[in-house]
Amino acid sequence: MSRIALIVGAGSGNSAAFARALAEQDYRVVLAARNIGKLDTLCKQIGAHAISCDAASVASVNELFESMKQDVGLAYVALYNASAYTAGPITSLDPELVLDSLMKTAYGAFLVAQQAAIGMKQLGGGALFFTGATASVKGFPNFSPFAMGKFALRGLAQSLARELGPENIHVAHFIIDGAIASPGRDLGSDEHVTNVGDTELEPDAIAQTYMAVLNQHRSAWSHEIDLRPWVETF
Amino acid sequence: MSRIALIVGAGSGNSAAFARALAEQDYRVVLAARNIGKLDTLCKQIGAHAISCDAASVASVNELFESMKQDVGLAYVALYNASAYTAGPITSLDPELVLDSLMKTAYGAFLVAQQAAIGMKQLGGGALFFTGATASVKGFPNFSPFAMGKFALRGLAQSLARELGPENIHVAHFIIDGAIASPGRDLGSDEHVTNVGDTELEPDAIAQTYMAVLNQHRSAWSHEIDLRPWVETF
Amino acid sequence: MSRIALIVGAGSGNSAAFARALAEQDYRVVLAARNIGKLDTLCKQIGAHAISCDAASVASVNELFESMKQDVGLAYVALYNASAYTAGPITSLDPELVLDSLMKTAYGAFLVAQQAAIGMKQLGGGALFFTGATASVKGFPNFSPFAMGKFALRGLAQSLARELGPENIHVAHFIIDGAIASPGRDLGSDEHVTNVGDTELEPDAIAQTYMAVLNQHRSAWSHEIDLRPWVETF
Amino acid sequence: MSRIALIVGAGSGNSAAFARALAEQDYRVVLAARNIGKLDTLCKQIGAHAISCDAASVASVNELFESMKQDVGLAYVALYNASAYTAGPITSLDPELVLDSLMKTAYGAFLVAQQAAIGMKQLGGGALFFTGATASVKGFPNFSPFAMGKFALRGLAQSLARELGPENIHVAHFIIDGAIASPGRDLGSDEHVTNVGDTELEPDAIAQTYMAVLNQHRSAWSHEIDLRPWVETF
């Protein structure tokens, strides 16, 4: 029987590429997002199930997992890929948008991780992945809300890596350091004229590393992996 | 005219010691906390002003700064010392308490930093300090909410250090790595039998370093300082 | 034509596993070590070439690369896997052994990286990997020589990642955090009774991640990757 | 009786400022450098003793400590301030200069720390300080030798902080992140026209923080402190 993978904060970039890669390795994929209309094509392509969810809402996340349990099953893999931020000098930020950023980037990750971990403990194992950013390890000027959210996400991932590892649940935090290219390119071809010189991260290239980490033997797990273009200044 | 210092999350430990040290260097001190009854003695000792405030509430933080502006003046120094957490395996945490932890530990810091920065820009300078913990840099198992909050606080501090430094506002993040001793000991004496061997951080010793950082020449500012007992395992 | 891979500090653990994995992907493998007698069996198994080399000696490293150029060709992949250390309280360490540790763990890595980079620039690309340890990011008491060597190695890797990336040379630093199991186990089987419960890193599991990083698309390269057993305390 | 302080790698910048600050607090100061002719004026000003020493040589460091023991006494404070580096693309670096850099920046620190620790253990306590740089935590392109040396120095400091703390020896690593101003300015005055706007670290400002850390109560020691100008980009 196929294992089940859940992607929260699914869109058209690295999450879609990861969904396709999972489907190729025979996972049944569930995509969750606030607006699932945009996911129709992907769902058809890979036979995925889409569920609408506001990741920052306790009730909505509970419904998502309830619905999965009834219709699909428990997730063996879960990726939290959602985030939101507002930028600007601290003196001119809107406190409501800052809260929204913290809720979607970090608190939602907690809610999803909690429900996912409950299921993975029942399954006897699993993988819990978090998509971070440059802002996960460096707070840039005028980006305090994003730094708060992404640092918090990393703290959550670190804590859970230590807590859930011995329960056979592989927790990994990915630091995406650079711009992600528009989706559509087939790696190995040169067709993708919008990413000349590979200066932006190809979604499929990100997904390839997510899959490599997912397939690691548990005697040698990675817990934090950086990913950036070869020409990126860092 | 004396400069004004604000301590949010004031209690009886390192915040009280910092308040006394500020008063000794002629600062007018304002103490903010949810319950200000406990601050009576300290207020009398050092002539401080106490204002009740829920740091995680936009309205309450706005009132605090409004009240300060009318009755005392703009803060040249602000320390965010508040935090809250709930602990346990992720599968048994109460989501409401996790949110509360994130709000008090990180979001409140943003709200206070925002209002403080507005005032400091008017003053042409200032100092914005944040009290972190071991959990600011390491996520321990069963402490995911605290790691989230303290990592987020560090992200905020890092971002603001870069953003506000060139505005002559000194942002510093202190990593308190160890248990803080009960207050009351006079450093240099041996009277404090509850901290035999200096195995816990003395509040006055923490305050001494806060003051040293506050008094740094701006050509050589520290932005992150760790503090731990000489015998601490780390 | 097959690409060439060089492993300096080759032994029977993760370096041998990486050598086998490279050979399976059609690389021609060159193994360098001070004592190459121990490499006979491996060389026969995978058709590798062994060259004796003292990595801390400029002359010996130059000879290694000269010999490769004449007999095999330029290395497209180079792994520095050598290290040495002496341990104990700083007051009782032998300065000569400390120097030896620094030379073999860090200076030799520089020498090999320099010669390898010269060749990779001629090839128009390549991959330069360094095997680090827990001591690369944390200095433990009584292990100051190892911390010095492994920190230095990480500094070298970081600097070269930024310098050589834009020359199409992928520099990656692996943090091996835990004990490495005795070689011999076929992953997926349970035959390896000395590593019950996968509490030590399987050499083949480490090699699998080295290969995954080697095969990353250059739009999404990893530069630092941690590896540890699922049950490791960290 | 005055305590004794040793500064290895003494010159005219932050080490001279630290020497003056120590003398003001009644320390007897010993200055060690390869060329001690340049230290004459400073020695007269503060009554310091100068000893010629090549910090990267076991014999020379042993002579330094032997000479101190006979003529002055055991050092309660020791600062390692020496370093050397060569820069450039890795493919064009001179291996001999790279080794020299590693020896002076890191191995010399080990030799001095070893002899200093032996003396401090006899004294029952002390302080062992290391001057790091931006390169201690970030490896820049074309600066691989400096990154190797300064990373190694940090590894040494971290290991010793954990090892010697419980022996009442305070080990601290200072990250000097920015250019150091030419010496001579009296902090608080505006006379020093070469450092307009405090964009470079004033030697006296660095020394002030070294002294603050030296005078910390052992219940709240700092082990790593960053120092940079208020306008520094980091």
pLDDT at A85 exceeding the cut of 60: yes
Å from D220 to nearest chain B CA?
Answer: 5
Handedness of CA B65, B66, B70, B74 (dihedral sign): positive
Residues A141, B154: C-beta atoms closer than 8 Å: no
B172 shares contact with chain D (CB less than 8 Å)? no
By CB neighbour count within 10 A (0-12 exposed, 13-18 middle, 19+ buried), where does B165 fall? buried
Contacts 24+ apart (CB under 8 A), B63-66: B64/B8, B64/B32, B64/B115, B65/B115, B65/B116, B65/B118, B65/B119
C88 shares contact with chain D (CB less than 8 Å)? no
Output DSSP code: residue A223.
S
Å from D166 to nearest chain B CA?
Answer: 5
| B95, A114 Cβ separation under 8 angstroms | yes
Q: Which of A99, A111, A139 is the closest to B107 by Cβ?
A: A99
Which residue in chain B is spatially nearest to D127 when comparing CA positions?
B230
Residues of A in contact with C219 (CB under 8 A): 181, 195, 198-202, 205, 229-230
pLDDT at D149 exceeding the cut of 80: yes
Q: Is residue A50 part of a domain?
A: yes
Asked if ipTM goes beyond 0.85, one says: yes
Distance of CA C234 to the CA centre of its chain: 22
- Number of CB atoms found within 10 A of residue D179's CB: 13
Give the span between the Cα atoms of C139 and D156, in whole angstroms.
Answer: 7
Residues B220, D208: C-beta atoms closer than 8 Å: yes
Which residue in chain A is spatially nearest to C126 when comparing CA positions?
A230
Residues of D in contact with C147 (CB under 8 A): 155-156, 158-159
The closest alpha carbon to C109, from B157, B63, A102, D145, belongs to D145
CA-to-CA dists, residue C87 to B117, C64, C180, D159, angstroms: 50, 30, 19, 11
Q: Which helix (H) or strand (E) holds D152?
A: helix D144-164
| Average pLDDT score, chain C | 95
Percentage of chain C exceeding pLDDT 90? 93
Residues of C in contact with A209 (CB under 8 A): 212, 216, 220, 222
CA-to-CA dists, residue D24 to C5, C162, D50, D92, D213, angstroms: 60, 44, 18, 46, 16
B161 shares contact with chain A (CB less than 8 Å)? yes
Q: What is the CA radius of gyration of chain A?
A: 17
Band of pLDDT at residue C190, cut at 50, 70 and 90: low
| Tens digit of each residue's pLDDT (9 = 90 or more) over A3-22 | 999 999 999 999 999 999 99
Average pLDDT over every residue of C172-201: 82
pLDDT of residue C192: 53
Which residue in chain D is spatially nearest to B228 when comparing CA positions?
D220
Residues of B in contact with D218 (CB under 8 A): 198, 229-230
- DSSP string covering B63-86, please? HHHHHHHHHT---SEEEE------
Q: Which helix (H) or strand (E) holds B28?
A: strand B28-33
Give the span between the Cα atoms of A114 and A108, in whole angstroms.
Answer: 10
Q: Is residue A232 part of a domain?
A: no
Average pLDDT over every residue of A82-106: 98
Query: Can you give C91-130 as a three-state secondary structure string?
Result: HHCCHHHHHHHHHHHHHHHHHHHHHHHHHHHHHCCEEEEE
Q: Is residue C87 part of a domain?
A: yes
| C98, D107 Cβ separation under 8 angstroms | yes
pLDDT of residue D183: 78
Average pLDDT over every residue of C169-195: 81
CA-to-CA dists, residue A205 to A176, B160, D73, D180, angstroms: 11, 33, 63, 43
By CB neighbour count within 10 A (0-12 exposed, 13-18 middle, 19+ buried), where does B58 fall? middle
| Tens digit of each residue's pLDDT (9 = 90 or more) over A53-77 | 999 999 999 999 999 999 999 999 9
Residues B217, D187: C-beta atoms closer than 8 Å: yes
pLDDT at C186 exceeding the cut of 70: no
pLDDT at A184 exceeding the cut of 90: no
The number of domains in chain D is 1
Q: Name, in order, each residue with C-beta under 8 angstroms of C121's C-beta and a sequence gap of 6 or more.
A: C167, C169, D91
Q: Is residue B232 part of a domain?
A: no
Which residue in chain D is spatially nearest to B169 when comparing CA positions?
D230
Amino acid letter, residue B229: P
- Contact partners for chain A, using 3 or more CB pairs closer than 8 A, are B, C
- DSSP string covering A133-173, please? EGGGT---TT-HHHHHHHHHHHHHHHHHHHHHGGGTEEEEE
Q: Which of B114, B139, B154 is the closest to A159 by Cβ?
A: B139
Interface test with D, best of B219, B222, B230 (most D CBs within 10 A): B219
Which residue in chain A is spatially nearest to B118 when comparing CA positions?
A91
Amino acid letter, residue A166: P
Residues C219, A195: C-beta atoms closer than 8 Å: yes
D100 shares contact with chain B (CB less than 8 Å)? no
- Strand-pair partners of B121: none
- Dihedral of CA atoms D138, D142, D144, D146 in degrees, nearest 10, equals -80
Give the span between the Cα atoms of D185 and D191, in whole angstroms.
Answer: 7
- Dihedral of CA atoms A195, A197, A199, A203 in degrees, nearest 10, equals 50
Give the span between the Cα atoms of B19 and B42, in whole angstroms.
Answer: 9
Inter-chain Cβ pairs, chain A and chain B, closer than 8 A: 145
Percentage of chain D exceeding pLDDT 70? 96
Q: Which of B170, B205, B217 is the closest to D220 by Cβ?
A: B205
- Number of CB atoms found within 10 A of residue A65's CB: 23
Interface test with A, best of C136, C160, C169, C230 (most A CBs within 10 A): C230
pLDDT of residue A183: 78
Give the span between the Cα atoms of B13 and B203, in whole angstroms.
Answer: 6
pLDDT of residue D194: 73
Interface test with D, best of C74, C83, C90 (most D CBs within 10 A): C90
pLDDT at B182 exceeding the cut of 90: no
- Strand-pair partners of C221: A228
Q: Is residue D31 part of a domain?
A: yes
Which residue in chain B is spatially nearest to D229 when comparing CA positions?
B219
Give the span between the Cα atoms of B87 and D156, in whole angstroms.
Answer: 35
| D11, D43 Cβ separation under 8 angstroms | no
A220 shares contact with chain C (CB less than 8 Å)? yes
pLDDT of residue B192: 53
Residues of B in contact with A121 (CB under 8 A): 91
- DSSP string covering B168-227, please? TEEEEEEEE-SPBPPS---TTSS--GGGGGG-SB-HHHHHHHHHHHHT--TTSB-SEEEE
- DSSP string covering D14-67, please? HHHHHHHHHHHTT-EEEEEES--GGGHHHHHHHT-EEEE--TT-HHHHHHHHHH
D231 shares contact with chain B (CB less than 8 Å)? yes
Token pair 């990656």 is found at: C172
Which pair of tokens denotes residue C21? 């994995």
Give the span between the Cα atoms of A167 and B182, in whole angstroms.
Answer: 38
Which pair of tokens denotes residue B121? 């820009």
Token pair 């889409």 is found at: A50
Give the span between the Cα atoms of C222 and D8, in whole angstroms.
Answer: 39
| C90, D163 Cβ separation under 8 angstroms | yes
D64 shares contact with chain C (CB less than 8 Å)? no
Query: Which segments of A25-159 are extended strands (E)?
Result: 28-33, 49-52, 77-80, 126-133
| Tens digit of each residue's pLDDT (9 = 90 or more) over D98-146 | 999 999 999 999 999 999 999 999 999 999 999 999 999 999 999 999 9
Terminal CA-to-CA distance of chain A, rounded, Å? 43
D117 shares contact with chain B (CB less than 8 Å)? no
| C43, C31 Cβ separation under 8 angstroms | yes
- Strand-pair partners of A33: A52
Q: Is residue A48 part of a domain?
A: yes
pTM value > 0.90: yes
D92 shares contact with chain C (CB less than 8 Å)? no
| Average pLDDT score, chain D | 95
3-state secondary structure of C62: helix
| Tens digit of each residue's pLDDT (9 = 90 or more) over B77-110 | 999 999 999 999 999 999 999 999 999 999 999 9
Q: Is residue C232 part of a domain?
A: no
| Tens digit of each residue's pLDDT (9 = 90 or more) over A144-181 | 999 999 999 999 999 999 999 999 999 999 999 999 99
| Tens digit of each residue's pLDDT (9 = 90 or more) over A186-202 | 676 655 557 889 999 99
pLDDT at A24 exceeding the cut of 90: yes
| Tens digit of each residue's pLDDT (9 = 90 or more) over B122-177 | 999 999 999 999 999 999 999 999 999 999 999 999 999 999 999 999 999 999 99
Which residue in chain B is spatially nearest to D213 when comparing CA positions?
B209
Give the span between the Cα atoms of C51 and C63, in whole angstroms.
Answer: 10
Domain that holds residue A182: 4-227
**Max CA separation in chain A (angstroms):** 54
Residues C181, A224: C-beta atoms closer than 8 Å: no
Average pLDDT over every residue of C106-111: 98
Q: Name, in order, each residue with C-beta under 8 angstroms of A198's C-beta and a sequence gap of 6 or more.
A: A229, A230, A231, C217, C218, C219
Average pLDDT over every residue of A28-50: 97
| D101, D109 Cβ separation under 8 angstroms | no
Q: Specify the CATH number for the domain of residue B21.
A: 3.40.50.720
| Tens digit of each residue's pLDDT (9 = 90 or more) over D40-50 | 999 999 999 99
Residues B226, D228: C-beta atoms closer than 8 Å: no
B164 shares contact with chain A (CB less than 8 Å)? yes
D228 shares contact with chain B (CB less than 8 Å)? yes
Residues C147, D156: C-beta atoms closer than 8 Å: yes
Q: Is residue A233 part of a domain?
A: no
pLDDT of residue C27: 98
B121 shares contact with chain A (CB less than 8 Å)? yes
Which pair of tokens denotes residue B196? 């035999």
